[in-house]
Amino acid sequence: MEPPDKITTTEKKLRSLEQDLNDLRQGLTLVTDYYRDLERVSHHQDAVDEVDQTLAKPLVDEDIESEGIWRFHEEALLADPSGHVPCTSMSDAFVRYCQKNGRSVVDQDALEFVFAHIENPVPVPDRGEWIGYRLRPGSC
């Protein structure tokens, strides 16, 4: 039989080891929960990024395109009820305006679509010309 001091020391060591093991288990649980949260957040962020790329970015790009056309309208054109600008001249002027101002150039269909919705005055496309405007001298 072992002396009582030796049993007490061994029991203390066992209790200490059991406590350390319990602390390690709790730590492992915390780390596991942390990584699960990271994974969930990562999946959520991936979904947010996908929504941004699928829905938001095209809308922002469309707004930027429209803004460029509206700026061109405001800065490069003059309302003139008797004014006539050939569609090709309008398109060429728009391209020059965009290049001069560091804006993205949109295709002619987009330009014509947005331009047709401008008001005060409303430009009218007629036989290859825009009626109701003229190009501002020196603007592009």
| Residues in a beta bridge with 84 | 131
List the alpha helices (DSSP H) in the chain.
Answer: 4-51, 57-76, 87-101, 108-115
Q: Is the pLDDT of residue 50 over 80?
A: no
Could you identify the residue written with the tokens 């005060």?
A: 120
pLDDT per residue over 92-127, tens digit each? 998 898 888 888 788 788 888 887 777 777 777 888
Q: How confident is the model at residue 19, as a pLDDT?
A: 92
Backbone angles phi, psi at 2, to 5 degrees: -85, 150
Selected from 1.10.3470, 1.10.287, 1.20.120, 1.10.10, the CATH number assigned to the domain covering 59-135 reads: 1.10.10
Tokens of residue 92, six digits: 């060429």
Provide the b/e sequence for 3-29 (b: ≥16 CB within 10 Å): eeeeeeeeeeeeeeeeeeeeeeeeeee
Higher pLDDT, 71 or 48: 71
Q: How confident is the model at residue 108, as a pLDDT?
A: 80
